[in-house]
Structure 1
């Protein structure tokens, strides 16, 4: 393993050197960093041109300038990066510009990739299991439509219906009878199509989903939940129990009582800690506190699973750790919701769901205000990027799972009498994820450097905007800073994908 990683890192360094030389040389030859000064009518124009030539060493050939730039970039190995000056940004250091842009883009990409993977793989698995059904045909039709739509059109639709219309509703949250009926119908038809079965089973599913979804929406509207949203300890317990049952059903099956008990015990622990944790949230609101508590949450799950799991303690620990993290995350979301009424009073009148920027300028408040504000700005661009990826992941995961399920070893597993859950989750899905791992790795690299249109529409000052500004102004250092970040991340994610192959399929060895 170590030999493989070192060999790949050596190849990565060589690829980055060659690619950086080509990108720098082509950009330096085609760019004109003095264009704005030549068109200037300033009295000291010649002096400004001379200063920029000296600052950027434009009197030297592009090849010589590249090696001078490479000398500063090589200092990144000792954490003292010197990527030059971005003259197009008032002579700001490129590292400072990258830090701000990369932070915004990483937030956007991380959120969109997580959403796309969760929903895309889930929908793809469901369509594969319901092959050639009405649900499968409907999802296939919708995914092709979404995948073919241009991203700027999706962004415009989201601005209109996801922000403007929804903000109008949040300003006066009145739940009508029509909304209750339509919500119940949508969920009833959706769950009926997913679960399938006989018509009697489908009608029962439709009725239960219609009553549950419509009744929940009516209850939220009647209690004024949209004005002052919260989850509360009851909601945390209900969500935690649901997570315990769902994760256990997928991981080991509900027949494994020790695993189920481990997950439920973890939910009970967090329910008991709900009110003491509010003290920490109120007096110690820091990001490091949340990070440490997340690690503790995973540790609690592992500890409970090891104690209660018995012979299957490994599976119990894994399941309990996932349920513990989910329950803790719900508690954090509940705390963020508590600042919603004050947040609405402080933001401009444009609405809760923001359409431009990554932050509200001049917003003052503690960490919970900043988290809520970040989410309000993140939701629309995240959905815009995730929708296209969800459509792609759905098709890839469906075709990959169908191909694996027709293999001989899957038929052998069924012939042994294994449950369908075991056949799908342990035998089929693991191998079906191998090509998906490669696609996700490439997708992350593309999103980090290529979310230019989305960032432009939502005025999100990330890596895409930085790259466009560098090309437009002829700022070679800014373009190369973009290349360094995106290039390194792209090759790293490809390396991670290679390592995932051996984790997903024991027959594959990285050596």
Structure 2
């Protein structure tokens, strides 16, 4: 395995070397970096020309300029990078740190959401092949896959930002809107749960009534301006997290694991009151992450002591339920701070340009308000990048899952009397995920390339903006800095995919 990894690293380094030389040559020959200065009437025009020639090494032949850049980039192996200067004399290292932080934050969240949603939809589509749910997911996947990025981004700016900001001025819902929302969610849940016609009708009616009642109550109490979960919704969410963990592991039949999970939910109710002083402002991420780790440890300990002969499963269920409860408690505090953020941003909560709403250097923000300031601007570009990837993940997962569940060993598992839950989660899913690892690796690197268009539309000052500015200015150093990040991400993610192959299928290790 080590020899294989070293060989892949060597081949990847050679590919990046050749690609960097080609990209550098194409960039510097795409135009004249001094074009606007030749046409300038400024008194210090010659000084500006001389300064740009010095910053961009225009007095050198192209291959010498490339070798100069390559020498500085090669020093990154010694943790002493020198990526040169822009044509205006700005340090590319500083630009790259800021731009990479913004882009990687955006792409990482989009990839994470796309994997969870896309893989889940693909698994459910395969299990319910040729059902109404399968046809709906297939149609939606092809629709998302065919959407032009720029068109979807413009629509989201109109409906997700401009019209949402107008609605927040007087956030009320008509009876027709509430009924439509309840019916749509009822249809979705009935399709996901499946079953016979009678069961689907009961699921639809129950879901529609509950959702309609909740949305109507929220509208009556002006929840949209002063949101909060409260203890009842935290308990309901904790029970939902427990049910999900049980379904994915041992089911509802194992009473010891079920009781352990209920104990964890009870401890979560106690922690809802005990952690109030710690999570109120002024809070910080160290406190939040520390409490989350503590919750996972306590949940795992409860599962260990109460799990009986399935202690490892008990630890998994307990830790997962505890983390779910901790997340809901954190969200309760975060939602409670929404009214304060509204007061600071009257009439325009979601900005259509930029990666933050307020400047923390000029406005003093509380912890939760700062989360809104940075996080709310992630919503629209994240949705654009996510829906593009969901289509691929769902289709590949469906195809892989269908191929796996038709294998002989799956039929053998069913003939032994194993339940569908065990067959799908413990036998089929792991092998079905092997081809998906390749998609994840390429998609992460591909999103960095696709983010160029998204960042341009939303005014996101990330790698895409730096890359576009470098091309427009015939400035190779910012372009090559983007190439290092995108190319390095492609190499690293492909290496992770190879290692994941060996983890998922031990035969690949040999």
Category of TM-score, reference length = shorter chain: over 0.9
Which of 98, 107, 110 is matched with 1:109 structurally?
Answer: 107
1:283 CA drift (Å): 5.5
Aligned pairs for 1:293-372 within 5 A: 293-350=291-348, 352-362=349-359, 363-372=363-372
1:330 CA drift (Å): 1.9
TM-score normalised per structure 1: 0.94
- Matched-pair contact (CA < 8 Å) for 1:229–1:338: yes
- Matched-pair contact (CA < 8 Å) for 2:282–2:367: no
Return the alpha-carbon distance in structure 2 between the equivalents of residues 164 and 29 of structure 1. Answer: 41
1:470 CA drift (Å): 0.5
- Matched-pair contact (CA < 8 Å) for 2:56–2:86: no
1:11-66 CA deviation, whole Å, 9 max, x = no partner? 33333333223322332343532223222221222222122222322212222222
Aligned to 2:37: 37
Aligned to 2:143: 145
Return the alpha-carbon distance in structure 1 between the equivalents of residues 442 and 108 of structure 2. Answer: 14
Return the alpha-carbon distance in structure 1 between the equivalents of residues 291 and 16 of structure 2. Answer: 38
Cα-Cα RMSD: 2.0
Which of 277, 280, 286 is matched with 1:279 structurally?
Answer: 277
Return the alpha-carbon distance in structure 2 between the equivalents of residues 294 and 106 of structure 1. Answer: 24
1:64-106 CA deviation, whole Å, 9 max, x = no partner? 222222222222233322111122xx42211111111111111
Return the alpha-carbon distance in structure 1 between the equivalents of residues 315 and 38 of structure 2. Answer: 67
CA spacing shift, 1:285–1:3, aligned 2, 3 Å = farther
Return the alpha-carbon distance in structure 2 between the equivalents of residues 355 and 108 of structure 1. Answer: 15
- Matched-pair contact (CA < 8 Å) for 1:31–1:471: no
Return the alpha-carbon distance in structure 2 between the equivalents of residues 310 and 17 of structure 1. Answer: 57
The 10-residue stretch of structure 1 (63-72 or 201-210) with the greater mean CA deviation from structure 2: 63-72
Aligned pairs for 1:457-472 within 5 A: 457-472=457-472
1:348 CA drift (Å): 4.5
1:232-269 CA deviation, whole Å, 9 max, x = no partner? 23322221121011122112222233333333333333
Aligned to 2:258: 260
1:416 CA drift (Å): 0.9
1:436 CA drift (Å): 1.2
- Matched-pair contact (CA < 8 Å) for 1:449–1:463: no
Aligned to 2:488: 488
Give the secondary-structure state (helix, strand or coil) at the position aligned to 2:94: helix
Aligned to 2:404: 404
Return the alpha-carbon distance in structure 2 between the equivalents of residues 286 and 189 of structure 1. Answer: 40
- Matched-pair contact (CA < 8 Å) for 2:298–2:319: yes
1:195 CA drift (Å): 2.6
Is residue 2:424 matched to residue 1:424?
yes
The 10-residue stretch of structure 1 (276-285 or 172-181) with the greater mean CA deviation from structure 2: 276-285
Return the alpha-carbon distance in structure 2 between the equivalents of residues 168 and 298 of structure 1. Answer: 41
1:331-360 CA deviation, whole Å, 9 max, x = no partner? 22222112111111111522x233221101
Return the alpha-carbon distance in structure 2 between the equivalents of residues 222 and 349 of structure 1. Answer: 21
Number of residue pairs matched?
507
CA spacing shift, 1:166–1:309, aligned 2, 3 Å = same
Return the alpha-carbon distance in structure 1 between the equivalents of residues 470 and 25 of structure 2. Answer: 15
Return the alpha-carbon distance in structure 1 between the equivalents of residues 177 and 420 of structure 2. Answer: 38
Aligned pairs for 1:44-55 within 5 A: 44-55=44-55
- Matched-pair contact (CA < 8 Å) for 1:29–1:62: no
Return the alpha-carbon distance in structure 2 between the equivalents of residues 420 and 196 of structure 1. Answer: 14
Return the alpha-carbon distance in structure 2 between the equivalents of residues 296 and 78 of structure 1. Answer: 38
Give the secondary-structure state (helix, strand or coil) at the position aligned to 1:86: coil
TM-score normalised per structure 2: 0.94
Aligned to 2:132: 134
Aligned to 2:242: 244
- Matched-pair contact (CA < 8 Å) for 2:86–2:92: yes
Aligned pairs for 1:3-18 within 5 A: 3-18=3-18
Structure 2: stretches of 5+ with no match in the other structure: none
CA spacing shift, 1:261–1:39, aligned 2, 3 Å = farther
